[in-house]
Structures are given as structure tokens and as C-alpha cells.
Structure 1
Amino acid sequence: WVKTDPNAHGLYKVFPNRPTHDPEDSISLEDMCRSPDIAVSDNISAIASDAPPWFPFLNSTVARLMTWFHLGSNIKSNAELESLVNDVLLQDDYDQAHLQGFSAMRENRRLDDTANMLPGEPPSGWKSTSVKIKLPMHKSHVPETDAPEFEVPGILYRPLLDVLTEAFQSPEFMQYHLTPFECHWDPNHDPENGHHVVYGEIYTSAKMLKAHSELPRAPTPHLETIIAAYMFWSDSTHLANFGNASLWPLYTFFGNLSPQTVFGCRSSSSLFSFRKSSFILWYSFGLTPYQLPDSIKDFYRNLYGVAPSAAVLSHLKRELMHAIWDMLLTPEFIHAYIHGIAIKCYDGVERLVFPRFFTYGAAYPEKYVPNLLSSNHAENDKGFIGDNQIFRKVPMPPLFHREGPDL
């Protein structure tokens, strides 16, 4: 164990081994003050080098009108009307002739179709796929393996290893804590009076210290083994104040980084950059339809002759989440979980990184879904993604196996 000297507040660290990188060594007073404004990243790639400023619309007048329509509240006010006049009608590039034959439905459709017309791929390889879920017959005891399948399209995602590699090769890596430690407080700088353990970060938790101590040895003595502390969030969201269109964004944050770095205490422009694939340091890795497709009801009715009950639809929503996670936990990710993945980090040093799951935050109505275990969990100790073997390796709380039946 390696112990640091107490700082001015009596706080000191106890590392299980000598760390190769401690981001707090370079913190200055300027880093701990809020910036008066947030710098904007200059690395947002243009849609196309020759695209006009009003792309994808036909002209600048239509673009301004559509921008006015989509910004602000859906109930237009005096301020909204003034915005229409000042930001659209009085602009130098406004041309009444541009609005001949204008159709709001057509322009909105043009905006929707643009997503499929953008050149190239989004950063870090967003992908589109579909997943299949089993359709049970109500009050039937047919084996699950024999149940018909329904394909749910439109699942947008990024492989978890791509997110991990992006994070550890980005400038934010320099703020990551690679070696967990215990934080202690000695109020009087007097060991005889005892010390207090200070809790507050993932990288100072007993769980991460334990996980760090259980990492396999590196194949070479000079290859450092470290943990990527995944912290997941998901929350269904409505896309507008009208209708029922919704999505289910999935995010991850790495517990190697202090939340103080993310939420405003560090002023570095690289930490407050906006990218297509992430907001600040919350990495988005999934964008899925939270509601089941309407076509599933007709498919079910044509299959079984009856409409699916509310209980069946609730079950299928849970199955959808399980199928998405089963898709995300690829064989490559499972291999990295067990054996590590070699990444040349931002500082130019190659390290063996082991992904580990520490938290999963979810808001109602999906907050209980991860606890709904597979029916054969007690027999095979496989966790909530059914047959995915990775959860044999995830440390479960002692009473985790009782969560499903007790809900």
C-alpha cells in the first residue's frame, strides 16, 4: 500500500499499489472555478463541404421559417411572434417568392428523410439493427424456444467497446483515475487519534478496490491493468408535447472520472465539448423505441386469433430490453470483460482495460426491468440477460436472486 501525505484539509489517499497516473496532481485553482461561459468544440464536422447554410431545406427563407416553428413552445406567444418577425421576415435573405407552394408537411418530411441522406457515418460508428423477441400465447405452456418471433426494427446503437475506446483515447482521459484508492481524513494530522474513511466516488469505493484486486495478471509485466467503471443510465423520453412518439436513450458515464469534473468545476474547453455522439462526458450508446411497434398487435392477432393482453404487452416490453442488452453484450465485449482489451490511451501508453459494471440508473417505468431475472436464474446463476454468460462473472449482491420474485 502507498500512502500520500495529508493535504491542508487533512485528506490523504491510500493506494493498493503505486499509481502511474493521478489526475489530481495537476489540479489548479483555475480548474476548480466555474468558467463564465462554456467553450464550444471546434471539431464538429460539417455536413458536407459544398452544402449551403440552409441544408437540407430548399432555401434560407424556408429554413428560417422551419427553425422558428420548431424552437420555443408549441403554443405561440407574443415573444414567439416577435421572433417570427425579427428572425425570419426581417432577415436580409428572406424572399417571399421562396414560400410559393410551401407545405409544412413536405418540409417536415424532408427534415426526417435527411437522416438517411447525410454523407458518411456518425462518429464512433453508430449502427442500426433489429432485435427479435418471442411472442408467448396467453395461458399457454408452449416452451419459449418454440414460440414465434417478432422483429423490432430501428435500434440505433454504438458497440460498448467503441465507447470505451473513444473515452480512453480522448483528452478527458487525463482526468481519469486509473488506480482506485481509499480516501482518509485525519482531522488533527495525528494518527493516534484515529482516521476516518471518506466516501464519495466510485474510484474510492470498496467495490472498485475489490474489483481492482481481482484483475487477472497482464500477459507482460510492463502492461498496466486497469478498470473501466461503467455507470449506465436509461430513461424513456417523449419527443414532443403532442402525440405519443417516444425514444429510450441509453447513456454511460465512466466512474473513473469525478462528477465534479463533469458538472462545472473544471473549466477546460476539452471537457465541455459537444460532440454528435456525447454530451459533455455522458456517452450515448443506444437510442431505441421505448414503445413496441403498433404492428406487433396485428401480428399477434393474426398469429393467435386474439389481441395481446396488457400483461402480454408488458412482458414483451421487458423482453425488448433484454434483447437489446443481449445484442449489446457482444462476444467481443465478453472477451474484453474476461481477458481485457489493450488500448493505447491518450497519453500514448498502452494499457489492458477491463470493463466492469458498477451502477445502473433507470427512471420509472423501466427501473424494475433489470431486476426481472430469467426464470432459470436460480439453477444456472446467469443474471437478467437470460443465456448471456457474462453475468456469471458479475458480482451479484447476496439477495439479488430474490429481487424478481419479490417485485
Structure 2
Amino acid sequence: MLAEGAHEASHQESLVCSQRSGRAIRFSHHYEDFVPATGMPLAHIPKQVRPPPVDATPAPSLSSSSSADPQEEETAPEIIWATKPDSFGLYREYPSKPTHLPESTITLAHLTEFPSTVLPDSSRVSPAGPPMLPEPYEGSADWDRHNLSTFSFKKEVKRLDLYMADKANNPFREESGWRTSTVHIRLPAEKVKQSEADALLLTIEMYHCPIMDIISSVLRDELSAAFHLTPFKQYWQPTPESQPERVYSEAYCSDAMLEMHRDV
């Protein structure tokens, strides 16, 4: 009785009453405070998927048993690493143990965006200044509004061109893997009907990095340990009795990506 009375008292204290009518204000049942699913933990023991049974054939003779194709022998069962279904009934199957599960570190703060203070644990605005304004802002010691009166966009662009022309200060150096190539672009005149072959030809120099050099440098970085490099198959099974359905979303969920992963 004491426990029930305490529960009813705490429930009444949590209710908010209207000042006009005195009735309790209740949240509408049409809305549901639902937290999106995040984690898909791996099952403790991976399941084994055996190949489909082969049709029964007559027993080979002794003369033909020695010349049998080794590919016709029974292959080892394929081990599939499957995750547990989330609240939507979605789960994944990996051909090997995944290197990283990005969803395992996602919190509610990563899924929702709402205005808040600079410091999440503080109820007041941070004295460091508004983070939305670029530095320097009006409260900075380096800020001087009189500098805007002498600002010239044309002059600043010229300074950037001179900086790029200086090989010593150029950030796109060959030692860093950058290459220079020439690109030809046809520029037809506006509101003039002419073929592309007769249009003005522009020659533009561009800086670029070979894609293999970019991939190699990224994988050498320490952050590559947190990359997710294992493709998977995703299935949807709303109830334990229903048949799982394959879900296609990104390129790393496709059969072509899984075949490339097996070849590598």
C-alpha cells in the first residue's frame, strides 16, 4: 500500500496542469518519442551457410574415381558474420569479420540537430564568442572595421595568383603528389546557334593527384583503422516468422562489391 501510494504521488507530481481549467496536460498519442536505431552488434558466434545439396548421382566406378575433378568435391561451409536485427528488423551479413562497425559509435547527438549552447554541459553561452561568426569578429583584438574600406577583391585575387605562381610557397607541389595537366574546354557563345567544333577553345591548367596515390596515402594514415572496408548484404525481417528480404541501398551492398571483396 505504501509503495502504491508513493507511486501515485510521484505520478501526480509529474503531471502538468493547465492554469485555466486545472486539467492535466497530456502528450498526444499521435506522437511517439522514438529514438532511431543505431547499433547493430555482431552475433557472438557466426553462422555457417552450407552449399545447396547436390543431386544424387550413381556411385563412380574404381576406374573413374582416380580421374575425378577435385572441384566436384564438397566445398567447406562458408562462414557468415551476421548482426543482430535492429528495431526495424534490419540485419547484415558479412563475408568475413568486419574491420569496423560505424553504427556502434553513433549516439543520439549524431542523429539529431537542434540549436543549443556552445558548451553542451552549460546552460549559458560560452564567453569565447559566437562560433557561427568567422574569425576575427568584432570582439577580437585583431578586428578593425576600417580595414574594410581599403579591401579590394581584385587585389586579393592577384595576391593569390602570385602565391600560386611561387613554387616555393605553392601548396600544390610535386613532392606532395600533385600533377599539372592541361584541359581543353569548348565554350559556345550564349544565344548563338553553332556547332561545338566551331566554339571557342579554352586551354586551362589544373592540379590533380592520381587516385592511387590518394588511396595509398589515406590507408597509411592512423585513421584508416576506423574505416569500414567490408561489404555486406542487408536483409529486412519484420517478424521472426516472415521471410527475410534483401535490401539494396549503397554500392557496398551490391553483389559486384562482394565478388570483388572475395577476389581480393
TM-score after normalising by structure 2: 0.42
The one of the two structures with greater contact order (alpha-carbon pairs below 8 A, sep at least 6) is: 1
Q: Of the two, which has the highest radius of gyration?
A: 2
